[in-house]
Amino acid sequence: MDVFNGIIGNGNITHTFCEGNLLLKLFIPQVPPYIELTVSPRDVYDGNLTTLWCNVTASNPVTDNFTWRRGGEEVTAGVTSGANWSKLGLQPATCLDTDIYSCEATNQVHSPTRKEEDVTVLSKCI
């Protein structure tokens, strides 16, 4: 079987497979990362371990970078990332962690995709 790979004019990836008289062409569109942002546990209490999860559900090419922000400022402490996910740990969460958090995912072709979540830590702050 002969395999030919290439990029057509609109940036989509093609794979062409030839076997005898059979010709199969696959067109794989390039798409930005689609992400889901979740907070676990959903109710955040003072002193509890809390994790914000950013999961990529689709991306072509693959997602190559995640950026976390808190109130618009980049956060690196407590961040762990894998191939299609990233997490931000608040360990332990305090009332001072109440803010708007966002996760941005990028691939080599598209602008970043961003989701945000308003996190309120339930406690008695003095």
The reply to whether 8 falls in a domain is: no
Q: Has residue 13 been placed in a domain?
A: no
108 within a domain of the structure (yes/no): yes
Per-residue pLDDT of the chain (126 residues; tens, 9 = 90+): 444 454 444 556 566 767 777 777 766 778 889 999 999 998 999 999 999 999 999 888 889 899 999 999 999 999 999 989 999 999 899 999 999 999 999 998 888 899 999 999 997 655
Query: Rounded to an integer, what distance in angstroms lies between the CA atom of residue 107 and that of residue 61?
Result: 6
Q: How many domains are contained in the chain?
A: 1
* Residue 30 and residue 60 in contact, taking contact as beta carbons nearer than 8 Å: yes
CATH of the domain at 80: 2.60.40.10
Look at residue 57 and tell me if it is in a domain. Answer: yes
Domain membership flag for residue 9: no
| Domain assignment present for 85 | yes
In terms of residue numbers, what domain contains 45?
Answer: 31-122
Say if 11 falls within a structural domain. Answer: no
